[in-house]
């Protein structure tokens, strides 16, 4: 793996640490090397400028003022500025010298290297040239000395050997400085890389959890810089994705429920069609056999009047069944709407009971009514009349002789209860299906189409303000409608 690939595979914290350390080490090293190279020259220039300034001020003082003691004034100036000073007249007569033993001697000013060496001043008074280290800086200035009323020359000698020593010390100190630089760089880089990378790592972890569809983690506030704005944007996206996925989950659940419901409806539809086919097959077979027997004048079918009446009765049952199926089909359409109106359910219930008194008396049943007057509800009058009529007829047809039928109507509930029968627990979930008969011994001779409770269910399901249930216990069955 090449260096570039290794670098690309490093984490953000390691990258930031290494890059910061290298930059800081290089920056401090360049700064240190620049100081070691340029500091001596800068110090030299500074020293020359300062020396020229101080000498100029001192010369100005000598040109414009007289002093009581020349030696004291010059000694003080020499001491304050760390200088060796020689003052002489134009004809080489000493006025002042830091070297007091030479004050009464004549000297020869040596201005360059062409003067014989025996007439030169000591080499320490002059600047060495040709690239060799500078030990002394010598400056020469002419001025008018007011004290003695003569033109004079002042020679100032400044030792600058300390500059060279400082340069050597800087070079000797370099290994220790470099080690310090490395330690400082590593410390700063560790803090800096952690400070920079930690928020990014948190953002990366949050993004990974979002990618895994986990929207529970929220990033803390990280300031108002770009990283803070990124974290805030990620939180906003997290909330929106969480909301969107929750909505999608709800829609998906509803869709699953709808699909299951549709499958159940489709299954019921197929079963319904199969049951209808079976229900119609038997009477058609009966009618076909009777007509065929009458046509060929065979056996008992010679009595045509009798079997024509029976065939007619079967046809009437078939007609009633077909009409029921047509009504159910109309109500199952999506565009079917209930004719909702205010209904006096008390009055409607009494009307239905009057229509069924004949059948109650014929089976020798006892009817007990408890009906609260003036109960009004919202609903489709014709359909609710059919519902209540079917429930009461069902109670009459399934009750043995001399049993009781109770009809109770209160403010929000209708209960139709008949005794002498029970519904098995296994049949409770099936009795609302079309053509289902809990009593397997019963047949079609009772005149029922087998659609009574199925019609009740389809109509009441259309009324959103009505609930219904059926209960069976202790030799009785109760049908309960809650308005």
Q: What is the pLDDT of residue 190?
A: 77
Residue 127's SS3 state is: coil
Condensed to tens digits (0 to 9), the pLDDT of residues 354-410 reads: 988 888 888 899 999 898 898 898 888 888 888 888 888 888 888 898 889 999 998
Is 459 a domain residue?
yes
Q: Say how far apart CA 388 and CA 409 lie, in whole Å.
A: 12
* pLDDT given at position 158: 80
pLDDT at residue 10 in the model: 63
What's residue 475's pLDDT?
A: 86
Q: What is the pLDDT at residue 103?
A: 43
Evaluate whether 350 touches 386 at the Cβ level (below 8 Å): no
Summarize the confidence of residues 428-448 as an average pLDDT: 59
Domain boundary (161, 178, 195) is at 178
* Model pTM score: 0.44
Q: Of 178, 196, 230, at which residue does a domain stop?
A: 178
Contact 88, 94 (CB under 8 A): yes
Report yes or no on 265 lying in a domain: no
C-beta of residue 67 within 8 angstroms of C-beta of residue 73? yes
pLDDT tens digits, one per residue of 212-248: 777 677 767 666 666 677 777 777 777 787 788 788 8
Whether 40 has a pLDDT exceeding 70, the answer reads yes
276 located within any domain: no
**Cα-Cα-Cα-Cα dihedral sign, residues 92, 98, 103, 107:** negative
Q: What is the mean pLDDT of residues 456-483?
A: 85
* Whole-number percent of the chain with pLDDT over 90: 3
Domain boundaries, position 407:
338-482
**123 close to 133: Cβ distance less than 8 angstroms:** no
Residue 375: how many CA atoms within 13 Å on its side-chain side? 20
What is the pLDDT confidence band of residue 8, given thresholds at 50, 70 and 90?
low
pLDDT score for 258: 86
Q: Which residue has the higher pLDDT, 329 or 349?
A: 349
CB 317 within 8 A of CB 449: yes
Domain contains 360? yes
Structural domain includes residue 405: yes
Report if residue 142 sits inside a domain: yes
Tens of pLDDT along 291-312? Answer: 878 887 787 777 777 878 888 7
Cβ neighbours for 424, distance < 8 A, ≥ 6 positions apart: 438
Task: Please provide the DSSP assignment of 214-240 as one string.
Answer: -----PPP--SSHHHHHHHHHHHHHHH
Under 8 Å between Cβ of 115 and 108? yes
320 in a structural domain: no
Q: Last residue of a domain, which of 178, 205, 238?
A: 178
Domain count, the chain: 2
CATH number at 477 reads 3.30.565.10
Position 296 in a domain: no
């Amino acid at each position: 793996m090449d260096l570039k690939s290794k670098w690309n595979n490093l984490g953000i914290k390691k990258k930031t640490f290494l890059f910061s350390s290298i930059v800081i080490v290089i920056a401090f090293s360049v700064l240190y090397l620049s100081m070691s190279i340029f500091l001596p020259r800068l110090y030299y220039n500074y020293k020359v400028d300062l020396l020229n300034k101080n000498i100029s001020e001192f010369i100005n003082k000598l040109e414009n003022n007289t002093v009581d003691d020349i030696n004291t004034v010059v000694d003080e100036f020499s001491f304050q500025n760390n200088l060796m000073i020689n003052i002489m007249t134009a004809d080489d007569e000493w006025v002042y010298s830091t070297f007091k033993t030479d004050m009464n001697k004549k000297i020869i000013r040596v201005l360059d290297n062409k003067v014989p060496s025996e007439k030169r001043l000591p080499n320490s008074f002059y600047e060495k040239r040709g690239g060799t280290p500078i030990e002394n800086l010598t400056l020469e200035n002419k001025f008018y000395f007011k004290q003695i009323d003569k033109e004079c020359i002042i020679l100032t000698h400044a030792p600058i050997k300390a500059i060279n020593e400082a340069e050597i010390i800087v070079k000797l100190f370099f290994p220790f400085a470099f080690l310090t630089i490395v330690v400082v760089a590593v410390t700063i880089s560790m803090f800096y890389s952690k400070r920079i990378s930690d928020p990014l790592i948190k953002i990366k972890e949050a993004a990974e959890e979002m990618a895994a569809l986990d929207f529970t983690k929220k990033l803390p506030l990280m300031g108002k810089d770009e990283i803070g704005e990124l974290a805030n944007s990620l939180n906003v996206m997290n909330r929106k994705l969480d909301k969107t996925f929750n909505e999608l989950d709800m829609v998906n659940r509803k869709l699953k429920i709808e699909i299951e419901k549709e499958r159940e409806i489709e299954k019921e539809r197929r079963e319904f069609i199969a049951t209808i086919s079976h229900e119609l097959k038997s009477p058609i077979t009966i009618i076909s056999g009777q007509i065929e027997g009458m046509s060929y004048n065979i056996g008992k079918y010679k009595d045509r009047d009798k079997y024509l009446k029976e065939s007619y009765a079967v046809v009437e049952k078939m007609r009633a069944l077909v009409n029921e199926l047509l009504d159910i089909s109309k109500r199952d359409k999506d565009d079917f709407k209930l004719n909702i109106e205010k209904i006096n359910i008390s009055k409607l219930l009494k009307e239905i009971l009057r229509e069924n008194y004949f059948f109650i008396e014929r089976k020798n049943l006892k009817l007990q009514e408890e009906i609260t007057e003036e109960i009004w509800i919202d609903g489709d009058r014709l359909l609710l009349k059919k519902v209540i009529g079917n429930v009461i007829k069902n109670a009459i047809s399934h009750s043995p002789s001399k049993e009781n039928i109770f009809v109770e109507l209160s403010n929000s509930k209708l209960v139709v209860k008949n005794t002498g029968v029970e519904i098995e627990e296994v049949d409770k979930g099936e009795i609302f299906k079309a053509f289902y008969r809990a009593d397997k011994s019963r047949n079609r001779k009772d005149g029922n189409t087998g659609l009574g409770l199925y019609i009740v269910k389809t109509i009441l399901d259309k009324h959103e303000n009505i609930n219904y249930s059926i209960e069976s216990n202790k030799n009785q069955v109760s049908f309960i409608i809650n308005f």
